[in-house]
């Protein structure tokens, strides 16, 4: 049996297979919105606009809670800030 030598062209750059993963740095920066109560995020849901049907429904729910049990907090739909609105 004879040994076969593989020749490698060193001019070629190895490429990774495209897995379809999108990293945080590659995302397009479109603003997302969250519902907050007293500055704290109330759920893990994110919305594409501040007048999204589901965002308004969630805001209205929390407003009813605050109206029934007033504690001085404000319920708002605000633009997502990754430092303030983290999910732990």
- Per-residue confidence (pLDDT) for residue 14, from 0 to 100: 64
- Per-residue confidence (pLDDT) for residue 22, from 0 to 100: 64
Contacts 24+ apart (CB under 8 A), 41-50: 41/84, 41/85, 41/86, 41/87, 42/75, 44/87, 46/80, 47/77, 50/77, 50/78, 50/79
- Per-residue confidence (pLDDT) for residue 40, from 0 to 100: 92
Write down the pTM of the prediction.
0.66
Consecutive 10-residue runs of the chain (88 residues): their mean pLDDT? 64 65 67 94 93 95 95 94 86
Q: Where are the domains of the chain?
A: 30-79
- Per-residue confidence (pLDDT) for residue 25, from 0 to 100: 61
- Per-residue confidence (pLDDT) for residue 71, from 0 to 100: 93
């Amino acid at each position: 049996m004879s040994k076969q030598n593989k020749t490698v062209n060193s001019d070629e750059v190895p490429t990774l297979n495209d897995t379809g993963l999108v990293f945080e740095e590659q995302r397009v920066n479109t603003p997302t919105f969250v519902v907050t109560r007293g500055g704290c995020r109330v759920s893990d849901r994110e919305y594409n606009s501040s007048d999204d049907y589901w965002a308004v429904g969630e805001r209205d729910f929390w407003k009813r809670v605050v109206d029934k049990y007033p504690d001085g907090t404000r319920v708002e739909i605000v633009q997502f800030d990754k430092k303030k609105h983290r999910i732990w």
